Every structure is written in structure tokens, then in C-alpha cells.
Amino acid sequence: MGTKTVDETGVKTEDKTDAVAEAPENAEIETADAVNDEAVEDDAVTGATENEGPTGVGQGAGAVVSAGLGIVSLTGSWVGTVASARESLIGQLQSTSSSDVGALIEKGYGNAWQATAMWGGIFALVALIVGVVVLARPAFGAPGRPQAPWIKSVAWAGVGLGVIGLLLAVLKYTDILLGLPSAG
């Protein structure tokens, strides 16, 4: 054990250097095992593991963004509304001197209709691309981790809405769907 000495204040102290030398060699290993056992118990309570890897939050967010953009492509956006109003104003300014009703309809309303369709198509195309990227991501990521079913469902919804929005935008832009009325 340790040697006892008396310091200058008269208090007895014990020299621990011998006590450390007499400690068992495996005491450090036993302490590490106890810490590891506590960590395993904590993991069992929280459900955490050391090598969890990616959680799929980015893929889930991408799926929701894809679906949201698909909905915007069908219902319209602020950008499309502003572009439509701008084109309508430009058409009215250009056709004020003309009395031709056909030119007034085309410049005042046709260009605005096409601007709305164009912006709807852009939103639909972005929704389609984001949805496809989210669906294709597991093939290039961690192959052992399957994608959550809700992520696939929402991404497929975004792809579907993107396809429908893109189809409607093309049909509106080409005047196949709800074309402008003729003046004559």
C-alpha cells in the first residue's frame, strides 16, 4: 500500500504511488467494459445505433417539394400571374392605336395566356425532375437501406402531378386546350 507521511502542517497524508502500482492490470479493462455496458443500455432505451447512416430527411423533403411544385403547376403561381399581367399590359399598349379586334385579342390576351402556360410548364418540369431524382436516389445511395414508403408515395405523386401539369401547359400554350376565341 502507500506510505504515510506527515507534512509541515502536521497532517498525515498517504503516498498513492505504491497504491497505483499495486492496482490490478485489468482494472482499466473492467472500467471500459462497464462504460460500454452502460452505452448499450442507453442505446436500447433510445433506439439509437452507432452506424445509423442517412435518415432520408433530404429525400423526404425532396418528395414534398416535388408534390408542392406539381400542385403549383396546376393551380398557378404568383410568378405566372405577374408574367400574364405584364404581357397583357404590353399587348394593350401595343394595340391601342390599332382598331383590329383580332390583334387586340392576340396581343392583349393571347400572350398573357401563353405566359401563364409557360410558367406552369416550368413548375411542372421542375416537379417532375425533383420527383424522379428522389425516386432514383436509392439506386445511387446506400443499397442496404430501403427508402421509406411514404417518401416513394409522395415522390410518385409529385411525378404524376408534374406530368399532368406539363401536359396541360403544353396544351394551353399551343391553344389546343381552351384556345383564344377568333374575332371574325
Structural domain for 82, as ranges: 57-173
| Side-chain-facing half-sphere of 13: CA atoms under 13 Å | 9
- Write out the H or E segment, with its range, that includes residue 14: strand 12-14
Q: What value, to the nearest 5°, has the Cα angle with vertex 78 and ends 73 and 83?
A: 95
pLDDT tens-digit series, residues 114-170: 888 999 999 999 999 999 999 988 777 766 778 888 999 999 999 999 999 999 999
pLDDT tops 60 at residue 43: no
Task: Tell me the DSSP string of 126-177.
Answer: HHHHHHHHHHHHHHHS-TTSPPPHHHHHHHHHHHHHHHHHHHHHHHHHTTSS
Asked if residue 178 belongs to a domain, the reply is: no
Say how far apart CA 20 and CA 35 lie, in whole Å.
21
Same domain for 38 and 123: no
Residue 28 lies in a domain: yes
Q: In the chain, what percentage of residues exceed pLDDT 90?
A: 27
Amino acid at 144: G
Q: Where are any strands of DSSP class E within 20-158?
A: none
* pLDDT attached to residue 68: 94
Same domain flag for 36 and 118: no
Number of domains in the chain: 2
For 168-184, write each residue's pLDDT tens digit. 999 988 888 777 777 66
